[in-house]
Amino acid sequence: MESNEKNGTRGPIRIEKSSAAIWRVFLDDPPLNLLGPAMIAELHQLVGQLEADEEVKVVIFESAVPDFFIAHVDLLQVGQGNDGVGSTGMAPWPDFLRRLEQAPFVTIGVLRGRARGVGSEFLQALDMRFASRERAWIAQIEVGCGIIPGGGGLDRLPRLIGRGRAIEAICGADDFDAPTAELYGWINRALPDDQLDNFVTRLANRISTFDRKAVAESKRIINERAGLATKDELNRTYARFLETLTWPATQARLAALMKRGLQTDIDFERDIANLMIET
């Protein structure tokens, strides 16, 4: 097992190598797993390590925080830690997601708890997503906060679930349980919670026995046929997202939500999809 502990301090991710071919990455920044500069930096560093490792075939992303995969972006630090560009010519966070999409290994998301906003967008960039039937919810809550999805939700989600369902999810800004997300195609499967880990482990172990070049080439051709969101689309959406943060109505709505417990009150965060409509 590899740890993210440095100089006696614990970072927001933890890495466990089940084997040379299978890496498990745990998002571990309680209580909410907010996506902030530290998590972006460590994930961006991780993708470079993965690309340099010619043995890795499967990477599994999951949360070590029971109620949250990623609650959402840290709204007090939006844009911080996202300066500069990576190898794709994009800022660190979209660069990380794009490199996972194009990587010569398979990525799997395991969803327990809530994946909202950028948490949902993270999962959309992975190759496969599997969720606990009883303990998983996914949402694009940005419109309910007065902003738009900026991390790929507007670009990837319509490709996954279609136009009408994407408008329902994004403009409705509501939580979707795992069975509904499975029906829509947002996730691959919703599995009973006590079967989820065994299913994903079996799938990862199965893929790890196959030739890496065959896996990588299959993924590359599927990417071509499926039509990934373009770099220009993603960059333009992110720029527009940053612009929405400056709107006076958005700032007022976010201030009201912060006052009620956004990013500080775990109970509020658990039920934000319902409570935000009262703002």
pLDDT digits (tens, 9 = 90+) for 241-272: 999 999 999 999 999 999 999 999 999 999 99
Q: Can you give the pLDDT at residue 74?
A: 96
Q: Is residue 216 part of a domain?
A: no
Q: Can you give the pLDDT at residue 219?
A: 98
Q: Indicate the SS3 state at residue 203.
A: helix
Mean pLDDT, range 85-104, rounded to an integer: 94
Q: Is residue 217 part of a domain?
A: no
Q: Can you give the pLDDT at residue 9?
A: 56
What DSSP character marks residue 5? E
What DSSP character marks residue 262? T
Q: Is the model's pLDDT at 158 over the cut of 80?
A: yes
Helix axes of 118-125 and 92-102: crossing angle, nearest 10 degrees: 30
Q: Where are the alpha helices (DSSP H) in 162-270?
A: 163-172, 178-184, 193-208, 212-226, 231-244, 248-260, 266-270
Residues in the chain: 279
Q: Is residue 195 part of a domain?
A: yes
Instruction: Name 205's Cβ contacts closer than 8 Å, sequence gap at least 6.
Output: 22
- Kindly report the CATH number assigned to the domain that includes residue 267: 3.90.226.10
Q: Is residue 80 part of a domain?
A: yes
Q: Is the model's pLDDT at 82 over the cut of 80?
A: no
Q: Is residue 54 part of a domain?
A: yes
| Percentage, residues of the chain above pLDDT 90 | 91
Domain membership of residue 80 as a residue range: 5-210+222-278
Q: How confident is the model at residue 84 (pLDDT cuts 50, 70, 90)?
A: confident
Number of structural domains the chain divides into: 1
Q: Is the model's pLDDT at 6 over the cut of 50?
A: no
Q: Is residue 256 part of a domain?
A: yes
